[in-house]
């Protein structure tokens, strides 16, 4: 599938997994190298802790390989220290094989892949797996190689000593600072057996030359080396020739990631560390989520506690009012039924009607707030209007047929029904319902 | 980790997820809602107490007023050990009011009893004849009667020179063992 954008094409789904894996591995490597707590330099037969300046002789004995001897010295040196912490081992540059490369217009990954593919044609003498150390950010420079078996032998030897070897790096790089203001630096790293010249540009090894002291004894080689040394002279250079140059470093060497070689065991440990870190992050995230989920409940709990305290305060302060209220309620409860019985003041009602009807009533009846009257009036409709206008009545209606009377003086007969305001037997009966009379027969 | 162990772990994770989804989440939700309801209840309670505190003076006045009203209420109540005796008292009071206002009693029906929580209500009906001039007197006397007779029904109609009436009054009596 052709994706419309080159960027998207470069992240095609089929490559994405591999890229993520590369990123993960690179992250693991970087994390492992960054975590190193000890940097130990091998200088001739001495192992030096660059931070403390402490040194220990590497004792070679029969039946003990070089990695085992170095690991034994490291074990003795770090006997008092925390042995679980990662160690960076700085070996002479001659322990590595360097090959030059120049690959323009290729990505870092492509350069790395190309070099790995060419590994056995570049270095036909090595049959096993080779680890590649390379800063492919530059199109040309030096690639370093280390047999995986060598790296593993160092890792295993250190593990036997109870130490964790995180990585291996050429010691010459110990004095290179990729972030230094002066970009170019030449380091002359010499010991009793070899001389090394390394030219770095912003942390990238541009050239690396090594010669044994024995070869230097030959005039031709000596001359060539001299010419090379003179040609490599730069304003900034550093020379390391004796133990004191290393013991005097007095700083922990940070591994240069591109040129750090991680044994397989170290990578595994790194992955374990990464997994542990991930687990810790996950655990912390889970804890954070759990705490976040608990926030509403805790907020509820705090609010309830606060309101309870406030409520207790109000309860205390309202004691007087409550006792008064309770007394009122108790009296209402005791006497309410009698007090709230609708009191129909019939005498007042008759007087009120008399004012409107002027003694022409034939009959009057009131039954639980409903008043029925009959009589004579000159204008019954007007009478209804008059009664409806009075606030003590509502729902005033004519209940009987209006008919002319025998005497014109008496007017027409009428029947009117109306309800008394403020008299509500329905509500009273609902509030105080009467029980079946028979059930209380025993009281009679 | 072996394949079987992986399967077991996945199964356990699924069971745990189901437990969380179907039990823990609803429980947590219910617990949260319960908390919110409790908060609402406490807030309402606090509001009630706050209002109560603000209205302390009003409740004091209301209590005084209630006590004054209740002080005279005992006289409104008919006393008697049995409902028929109470009904007899109601009839007597009604008849007394009638006699005092020149009412001619034509008939008295059997009393009707209504029982409520703590109270006995006796309804007594009476038919009568009365002069027009005595109607208000009769009604006013009933108003002043102690124990109190409350008028539930009243009807009156003119029949030639006299008025024929019908009245139902209600008297209250406390039941034995009632509140207060």
pLDDT digits (tens, 9 = 90+) for A281-316: 999 999 999 899 899 999 999 999 999 999 999 999
Q: What is the pLDDT of residue A439?
A: 41
Tokens 């770090």 map to which residue? A78
Q: What pLDDT does residue A33 have? A: 80
Query: What is the token pair recorded at A149?
Result: 């078996």
**At which residue do the structure tokens 């990729």 appear?**
A178
Cβ contact B46–A368 (<8 Å):
no
CB contact under 8 A, B139 and A346: yes
**pLDDT, tens digit (0-9, with 9 covering 90-100), for B60-91:** 999 999 998 888 888 999 998 889 999 999 99
- Cα–chain center distance at B133: 38
Contact A321 B56 (CB under 8 A): yes
Query: How many other CB atoms are found less than 10 A from the CB of residue A125?
Result: 6
- A129: tokens are 């797996």
Residue of B93, B107, B102, B105 lying closest to B142 (CA atoms) = B93
In what helix (H) or strand (E) does residue A301 lie, and over which residues does it extend? helix A264-317
Interchain pair A435, B116: CB under 8 A: yes
CA distance B4 to chain A (A): 22
Is-contact A257 A29, C-beta < 8 A? yes
- CB distance B115–A367 less than 8 Å? no
Contact A53, A43 (CB under 8 A): no
Closest to A440 (Cβ–Cβ): which among B70, B115, B153?
A: B115
Point out the residue among A310, A327, A344 whose CB comes nearest to the CB of B46: A310
Beta strands in A130-203 (DSSP E): 130-133, 140-147, 164-170, 184-190, 194-201
Question: Would you state the structure tokens that stand for residue A263, as one six-digit string?
Answer: 């044994």
* pLDDT exceeds cutoff 90 at B158: no
Q: Which of A282, A347, A413 to mutate to test the interface with B (most CBs of B within 10 A)?
A: A347
Contacts 24+ apart (CB under 8 A), B140-146: B140/A347, B141/B97, B141/B100, B141/B101, B142/B94, B142/B97, B142/B169, B143/A345, B143/A347, B145/B93, B145/B96, B145/B97, B146/B75, B146/B76
Tokens 């409940």 locate to A297
Count residue pairs from A and B with Cβ separation < 8 A. 165
The answer to whether residues A75 and A153 touch, using CB atoms and an 8 Å cutoff, is: no
**Which residues from A are below 8 Å from B125, CB to CB?**
none
Residue in A297, A318, A440 closest to B32 by CB:
A297
Nearest CA distance, B101 vs chain A (angstrom): 14
How far apart CA A100 and CA A209 sit, in angstroms, is 11
Beta strands in B47-161 (DSSP E): 104-108, 112-116, 119-130, 150-159
Query: Are B176 and A311 a contacting pair at CB < 8 A?
Result: no
Q: Which residue of B has its CA nearest to A321?
A: B56
Quote ipTM for the complex.
0.76
Query: CA-to-CA distance for B45 and B35, rounded, in angstroms?
Result: 15
CA A20 – CA A29 distance, rounded (Å): 14
Report pLDDT for A405. Answer: 54
pTM of the model: 0.52
Closest CA to A349 of A334, A366, A374, A335: A366
Q: What is the pLDDT of residues B99-125, one digit of tens each?
A: 999 999 999 999 999 998 889 999 999
For chain B, state the CA radius of gyration. Answer: 34
Percent of chain B at pLDDT above 90?
76
CB A143 within 8 A of CB A103: no
CA distance B135 to chain A (A): 8
| B168: confidence class by pLDDT, cuts 50, 70, 90 | very high
* A75 three-class SS: helix
State whether B46 and A432 contact (CB < 8 Å): no
Lookup result for tokens 């003795």? A76
Contact A347 B120 (CB under 8 A): no
User: Could you tell me where the DSSP H helices lie in B74-169?
Assistant: 83-100, 135-144
Q: How far apart are CA A212 and CA A192, in angstroms?
A: 9
Question: What is the DSSP code (8-state) at residue B31?
Answer: H
Instruction: Enumerate long-range contacts of A13-22, CB under 8 Å, 24 or more apart.
Output: A22/A109
DSSP strand pairing (B104-108 vs B119-130): antiparallel
> What is the residue-averaged pLDDT of chain B?
91
Q: What is the pLDDT of residue A119?
A: 86
Per-residue DSSP letter, B23? I
Q: Which helix (H) or strand (E) holds A395?
A: strand A393-398
| Yes or no, beta carbons of A314 and B73 under 8 Å apart | no
pLDDT value of residue B40: 96
The answer to whether the CB atoms of B136 and A341 lie below 8 A apart is: no
Q: Are A40 and A49 in contact (CB under 8 A)?
A: yes
Task: Measure CB to CB from residue A350 to each of B115, B136, B158 and give the nearest one.
Answer: B136
CB contact at 8 A, B165 and B129: yes
Q: How far is A5 from chain B (nearest CA, A)?
A: 40
CA of B30 vs chain A CAs: smallest distance (Å): 11
| Contact across the interface for B179 and A440, Cβ inside 8 Å | no
CB contact under 8 A, A300 and B152: no
Least CB–CB distance from A314: residue in B38, B50, B153:
B50
Interface test with B, best of A364, A372, A375, A442 (most B CBs within 10 A): A364
Tell me which residues of chain A have a pLDDT lower than 70.
Answer: 1-28, 83, 359, 400-410, 436-444
Neighbours of A236 (CB within 10 A): 13
Query: In sequence order, which residues have a C-beta less than 8 Å from that of residue A346 and are 6 or more positions away?
Result: A366, B139, B151, B154
Least CB–CB distance from A321: residue in B32, B52, B158 = B52
């Amino acid at each position: 599938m052709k994706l419309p954008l080159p960027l998207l094409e470069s992240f095609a789904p089929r490559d994405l997994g591999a890229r993520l894996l590369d990123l993960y591995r690179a992250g693991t490597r970087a994390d492992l190298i960054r975590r190193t707590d000890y940097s130990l330099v091998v200088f001739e037969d001495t192992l030096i802790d660059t931070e403390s300046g402490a040194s220990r002789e590497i004792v070679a004995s029969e039946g003990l390989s070089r990695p085992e001897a170095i690991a034994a010295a490291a074990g003795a040196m770090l006997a008092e220290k925390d042995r679980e912490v990662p160690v960076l081992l700085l070996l002479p540059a001659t322990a590595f094989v360097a090959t030059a490369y120049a690959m323009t217009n290729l990505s870092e990954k492509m350069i790395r892949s190309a070099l790995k593919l060419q590994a056995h044609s570049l270095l036909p003498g090595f049959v096993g797996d080779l680890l590649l150390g390379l800063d492919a950010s530059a199109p040309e420079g030096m690639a370093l190689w280390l047999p995986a078996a060598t790296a593993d032998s160092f890792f295993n030897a250190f593990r036997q000593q109870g130490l964790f070897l995180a990585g291996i790096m050429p010691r010459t790089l110990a004095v290179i600072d990729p972030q230094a203001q002066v970009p170019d630096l030449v380091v002359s790293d010499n010991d009793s057996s070899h001389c090394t010249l390394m030219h770095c540009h912003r942390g990238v090894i541009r050239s690396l030359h090594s010669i044994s002291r024995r070869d230097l004894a030959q005039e031709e080689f000596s001359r060539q080396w001299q010419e090379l040394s003179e040609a490599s002279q730069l304003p900034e250079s550093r020379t390391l020739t004796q133990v004191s140059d290393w013991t005097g470093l007095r700083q922990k060497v940070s591994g240069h990631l591109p040129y750090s070689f991680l044994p397989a065991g170290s990578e595994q440990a790194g992955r374990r560390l990464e997994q542990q870190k991930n687990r810790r992050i996950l655990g912390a995230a889970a804890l954070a989520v759990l705490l976040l989920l608990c926030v509403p409940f805790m907020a509820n709990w705090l609010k309830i506690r606060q309101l309870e305290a406030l409520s207790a305060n109000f309860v205390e302060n309202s004691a007087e009012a409550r006792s008064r209220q309770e007394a009122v309620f108790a009296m209402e409860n005791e006497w309410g039924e009698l007090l709230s019985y609708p009191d129909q003041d019939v005498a007042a009602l008759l007087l009120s009607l008399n004012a409107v009807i002027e003694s022409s009533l034939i009959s009057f009846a009131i039954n639980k707030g409903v008043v029925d009257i009959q009589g004579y009036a000159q204008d019954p409709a007007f009478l209804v209007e008059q009664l409806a206008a009075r606030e003590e009545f509502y729902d005033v209606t004519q209940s009987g047929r209006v008919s002319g009377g025998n005497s014109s003086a008496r007017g027409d007969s009428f029947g009117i029904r109306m309800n008394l305001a403020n008299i509500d037997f329905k509500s009273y009966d609902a509030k105080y319902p009467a029980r079946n009379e028979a059930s209380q027969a025993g009281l009679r | 980790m072996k394949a079987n162990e992986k399967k077991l772990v996945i199964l356990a994770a699924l069971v745990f997820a189901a437990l969380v989804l179907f039990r823990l989440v609803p429980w947590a939700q219910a617990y949260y809602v319960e908390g919110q309801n409790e908060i609402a209840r406490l807030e309402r309670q606090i509001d009630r107490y706050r209002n109560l505190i603000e209205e302390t003076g009003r409740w004091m006045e209301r209590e005084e007023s209630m006590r004054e009203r209740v002080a005279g209420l005992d006289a409104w109540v008919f006393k008697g050990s049995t409902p028929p005796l109470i009904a007899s008292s109601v009839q007597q009071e009604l008849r007394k009011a009638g006699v005092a206002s020149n009412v001619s009693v034509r008939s008295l029906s059997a009393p009707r009893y209504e029982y409520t929580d703590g109270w006995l209500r006796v309804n007594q009906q009476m038919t009568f004849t009365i002069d027009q001039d005595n109607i208000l007197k009769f009604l006013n006397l009933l108003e002043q009667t102690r124990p109190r007779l409350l008028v539930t029904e009243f009807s009156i109609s003119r029949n030639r020179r006299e008025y024929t009436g019908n009245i139902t009054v209600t008297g209250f009596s406390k039941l034995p063992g009632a509140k207060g």
